Amino acid sequence: MATTERDYYEVLGVPRDADEADIKRAFRRLARELHPDVSEAPDAQERFREVVEAYEVLSKRETRDLYDRYGHAGLRSGGFQPGHFDFGSLSDLFAAFFGDDLIGGRAARSRGADLAAEVEIDLADAAKGVNRGVPFEVAVACSHCEGSGAEPGSAITTCPTCGGLGRLQQVSRSVFGEFVRTQTCPACTGTGRRIETPCTVCDGAGRLLEERTLEVDIPAGIHDGQQIRLSGEGHAGGLGARAGDVYVRVRIRPDPRFVRENDDLFSTVDLTMTQAALGAMLRVPTLDGEAELEFAPGTQPGTVVILRGCGMPALRGFGRGDQRVLVNVLVPSRLNEEQRRLLEEFDTHVDERTYKADEGFFEKLKSAFR
């Protein structure tokens, strides 16, 4: 991520309420202006990377919403990292983002499509970080024809219809001037080539579907629904172009012992009426195993015990959240005659000191979320 952390809207020169089309137009204009192949300015490369990074964030609804709410810090805590692009030309750049060559010239090598995968882990795995194999089906370059689509040894010629451009242009004139209409060449479907003998393995597609499993390192502290991008592991591009990316969505199974709120964990512990009145030592579950807690005599329902540093680790940060244990006092729902008599006898011996006024239940509940 750029060290100066400039405002992404400022980088692209668009207002914060700019729509998708405005953002795309601004990116195209700046990319043409600042690409190192075009610009001779000494800071062109750094500014170009800023523009690419800004577009990468603002062009996706998920990262744009995160940036709008929390800025650069929110992107970091959300696990976002800008891609590292190595584009040989502007054509490759636009192909990577838009799947097409937007600046003209010969037929573009289309970037491979992205694909989505999903992996499910336990909360304990999310706390420690874990490596998981993620299976998915992906289009890979045909090894028989090396992705060319032509049978080895056969000829590949220039498309006679479009002259290798992959596009056909039609010029029409009107009182308003000339209008140029561009369309994909129907003869070669935009490749600019004509294959005399299609590959016998892939039938000229240049790609085959393959079952693949990738090992994914899931960082400690990841949140449910966050995505991990595996750059260049998606579907193979056409004519040897860059492959797409794989976006692995991480799902965290609910843990009946805990409720997660950011990096904090919430749990409950049940004390009987007599335990709450007389005090008790109880063991409560934590991510690191059971911890023994001492509850003083007179513990009230709604009391919150905070276990510092027993929550989730901060994603790409330092330290851990806390675990907040909420006390629930169990009141008998069925009493026999002897139990009722003993409670009634106890009630005759109480005075104003027995039930000392304490912090209200709702105040205790509020403190649990502070």
- Dist CA 173 CA 153 (whole Å): 46
165 against 305, higher pLDDT? 305
What digits encode the pLDDT tens for the residues 31-86?
A: 878 776 666 777 877 888 888 888 888 988 888 888 888 788 777 766 566 554 44
Q: Please check the confidence at residue 90 and state whether its pLDDT lies above 80.
A: no
Q: Please check the confidence at residue 132 and state whether its pLDDT lies above 50.
A: yes
Under DSSP, the state recorded for 105 is S
- Dist CA 15 CA 273 (whole Å): 60
pLDDT value of residue 189: 78
- Dist CA 64 CA 135 (whole Å): 29
What digits encode the pLDDT tens for the residues 202-255?
A: 888 888 888 999 999 999 999 999 999 888 888 888 766 788 889 999 999 999
Q: Please check the confidence at residue 107 and state whether its pLDDT lies above 80.
A: no
- Dist CA 79 CA 223 (whole Å): 9
pLDDT value of residue 341: 94
Kindly report the pTM of this predicted structure: 0.60
Average pLDDT estimate for 193-202:
89
pLDDT value of residue 30: 86
Which of 92-106, 257-271, 348-362 has the least mean pLDDT? 92-106
Percent of the chain with pLDDT over 90: 39
pLDDT value of residue 75: 76
Cα distances (angstroms) measured from residue 201 to each of 140, 150, 206, 290? 13, 10, 9, 59
Q: Two tokens at 54?
A: 């800004």
CB atoms near residue 332 (< 10 Å): 11
Q: Please check the confidence at residue 368 and state whether its pLDDT lies above 70.
A: no
pLDDT value of residue 317: 73
Query: DSSP secondary structure string, 137-182?
Result: EEEEE-TTTTTS-B-TTS-EEE-TTTTTSSEEEEEEEETTEEEEEE
pLDDT value of residue 6: 84
What digits encode the pLDDT tens for the residues 174-191?
A: 655 667 777 888 888 778
Q: Two tokens at 278?
A: 């007389």
